């Protein structure tokens, strides 16, 4: 455990150049006193460390000193290759770079770990897009990624779902997220942080104006909060249904998790053996295709607009099939 912590300290100082004892303690989840002891041990082992007091002080490593990855454990080497996302690197135009890094890492490992890492790469593969869905077409991704990396403000034309559909926005691009095969941009407008789907960017211009990320911004934390609030923002209405036992058991194969959870929490069996549930919906237009999957195993009780929309749809379908049946019957009579 201590040996691993000492290696972590070296890597942190190599990557960040200077860190205070408190910053190291927070990163390693140990006490400041433990950091002081570790620094003494590293110095005794010949690592050229020096500390500077004062406001701009902290620990540094003398220039030119670099540690090597020969101290990797088996699990650590495995995790490095399992963490690879070659598709994402290729999307960002970094496919050859990622391959070169992996080759260099492989070459630096002892023979035993190198063979094991090779087996990991052969046996595990990440395929991010969902079944039957292709990844988005993202011609502007490389330019956006460059603007994110270099902290350049961008002006973009964007196609959104609500009216007006086409808008122009000037934003500060904070970060990129890959979710289920789709790339998203987290960016700051003059008023707030917003999320944009990269494939819906129509046109993009990188401006000379630069920006600094606000103190404390954490992309991973922002994204987790965004996902938690996504269903609440999207589901602005609700529907009440009666489901047959067969339909109720099929829900996990038909609906998304938030809808299934709401159905189970509100489930109330009736005297006929059916179950009354209340589920969140975006709108009657969006909900109808999902409810039609249940066929005659579901009855919409409310809202009235959704029930009326279903009735109109079924009436229109019935008219089409009755007309087709008469046409087929006429063709059959002629053939006889």
| Confidence grade of residue 46 (pLDDT, cut at 50, 70, 90) | confident
pLDDT score recorded for residue 328: 64
Arithmetic mean of pLDDT, 43-66: 77
| Confidence grade of residue 70 (pLDDT, cut at 50, 70, 90) | low
pLDDT score recorded for residue 204: 94
Mean pLDDT score of the chain? 81
pLDDT score recorded for residue 191: 79
pLDDT score recorded for residue 49: 84
pLDDT score recorded for residue 14: 74
Read out DSSP for 144-197? HHHHHHHTEEEEEEEE-SSSS-EEEEEEEEEEEEEETTEEEEEEE-SS-EEEEE
Handedness of CA 319, 323, 326, 331 (dihedral sign): negative
| Confidence grade of residue 322 (pLDDT, cut at 50, 70, 90) | confident
pLDDT score recorded for residue 81: 63
Q: pLDDT tens digits for 198-225?
A: 999 999 999 999 999 998 889 989 998 8
Arithmetic mean of pLDDT, 160-185: 89
Q: pLDDT tens digits for 176-198?
A: 998 877 899 999 988 789 999 99
Instruction: Report the first-to-last Cα separation within the chain, whole angstroms.
Output: 88
CA dist 262 → 180, 213, 277, 285 (Å) = 23, 38, 8, 20
Arithmetic mean of pLDDT, 164-178: 93
Arithmetic mean of pLDDT, 260-284: 90
Q: H helices of the chain, where?
A: 2-16, 21-28, 32-44, 74-82, 86-91, 95-108, 111-123, 141-150, 219-234, 245-250, 257-266, 284-292, 304-335
| Confidence grade of residue 144 (pLDDT, cut at 50, 70, 90) | very high
pLDDT score recorded for residue 162: 76
pLDDT score recorded for residue 98: 63
pLDDT score recorded for residue 152: 96
Confidence check: pLDDT of 19 > 70: yes
| Confidence grade of residue 336 (pLDDT, cut at 50, 70, 90) | low
Q: pLDDT tens digits for 219-251?
A: 989 998 888 777 666 667 889 999 999 999 999
Confidence check: pLDDT of 112 > 90: no
């Amino acid at each position: 455990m201590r040996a691993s912590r000492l290696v972590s300290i070296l890597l942190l100082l190599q990557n960040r150049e200077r860190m205070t004892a408190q910053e190291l303690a927070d990163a390693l989840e140990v006490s400041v006193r433990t950091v002081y002891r570790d620094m003494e041990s590293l110095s005794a082992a010949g690592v050229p460390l020096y500390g500077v007091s004062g406001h701009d002080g902290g620990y540094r490593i003398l220039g030119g000193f670099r540690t090597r990855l020969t101290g990797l454990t088996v699990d650590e080497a495995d995790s490095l290759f399992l963490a690879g996302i070659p598709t994402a690197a290729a999307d960002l135009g970094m496919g050859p770079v990622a391959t070169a890094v992996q080759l260099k890492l492989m070459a630096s490992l002892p023979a035993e770990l190198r063979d094991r890492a090779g087996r990991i790469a052969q046996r595990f593969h990440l395929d991010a897009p969902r079944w039957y869905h292709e990844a988005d077409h993202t011609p502007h991704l490389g330019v956006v990624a460059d603007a994110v990396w270099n902290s350049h403000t961008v002006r973009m034309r964007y196609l959104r779902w609500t009216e007006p559909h086409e808008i122009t926005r000037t934003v500060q691009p904070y970060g990129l997220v890959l979710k289920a095969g789709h790339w998203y941009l987290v960016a700051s407008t003059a008023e707030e942080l917003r999320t944009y789907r990269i494939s819906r960017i129509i046109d993009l211009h990188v401006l000379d104006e630069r920006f600094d990320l606000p103190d404390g911004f954490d992309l991973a934390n922002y994204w987790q909060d965004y996902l938690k609030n996504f269903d609440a923002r999207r589901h602005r209405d609700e529907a009440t249904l009666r489901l047959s036992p067969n339909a109720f058991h099929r829900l996990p194969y038909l609906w998304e998790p938030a809808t299934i959870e709401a159905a189970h929490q509100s489930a109330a069996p009736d005297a006929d053996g059916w179950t009354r549930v209340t589920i969140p919906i975006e709108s009657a237009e969006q909900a109808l295709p999902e409810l039609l999957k249940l066929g005659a195993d579901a009855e919409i009780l409310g809202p009235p607009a959704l029930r009326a929309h279903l009735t109109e749809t079924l009436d229109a379908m019935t008219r089409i099939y009755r007309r087709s049946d008469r046409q087929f019957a006429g063709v059959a009579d002629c053939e006889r």
